[in-house]
Amino acid sequence: MANESATIVQRLWNYCNVLRDDGVSYGDYVEQLTYLLFLKMDDEQTKPPFNKKSDIQKGLDWKSLTDKDGEALERQYRKILDSLGKEKGMLGVIFRKAQNKIQDPAKLKRLLELINGETWIGLDWILILKVRYTRGCFRKTPRTRRAERGSTLLREL
């Protein structure tokens, strides 16, 4: 599991590099990644062995992003963020005031492809987020910016 976790941390940072090239800050990167992974993991739950019904309506789901390119993709992503932010319940809380920070549709498409190439759902993912990913992110953040980003979180982990 250690090797698998390290591999996933590296992949997440590869995703970050895609967005950093577009001028997306660390905080914005984490935010965009969270939205996209939420959509992807929701999609994974609708497939075997889970076969759960999605709370996200068709047309605002992961599939509605992956089959688009260019400006159509960018418009769809903004529509999803805006529409889900108006939903009641947990969806509305998660996506409230969400904005697309990825200005280049080609980079958004590449990020979707990278995320789509993995299966993200599962208990190991939760562990990775809590420990490996958070520590990996802060280790790769320049020291001068760690204080700004709440490096005390590392001590709590």
Amino acid at 116: N
**125 CB contacts (<8 Å, ≥6 apart)?**
8, 41
Q: Could you tell me the pLDDT band of residue 7, with boundaries at 50, 70 and 90?
A: confident
Domains of the chain: 2-156 (1.20.1260.30)
Does residue 28 register a pLDDT over 80?
yes
Counts of helices then strands in the chain (DSSP H, E)? 10, 0
Torsion (CA) 25, 14, 22, 137 in degrees, nearest 10: 10
64-68, 71-75, 102-106: least confidently modelled range: 102-106
- pLDDT digits 0-9 by tens, 124-149: 555 555 544 455 554 554 544 444 44
The stretch 27-36 carries a mean pLDDT of 88
pLDDT: is 6 or 86 the higher one? 86
Residue in 82, 47, 41, 83 with CA at minimum distance from that of residue 62:
41
Q: Are 18 and 12 in contact (CB under 8 A)?
A: no
List, for residues 87-115, the tens digit of each pLDDT value: 999 999 999 999 999 989 998 998 899 88
CA angle 102, 107, 113 (to 5 degrees): 115
Q: Residue 100 has what pLDDT?
A: 95
Residues 36 and 108: their CA atoms lie apart, in Å, by 10
Query: Pick the residue with more confidence: 3 or 132?
Result: 3
Indicate the DSSP class of residue 57: P
What is the total residue count of the chain? 157
pLDDT for the residue 3: 63
Read off the pTM: 0.75
Give me the percent of the chain exceeding a pLDDT of 90. Answer: 46
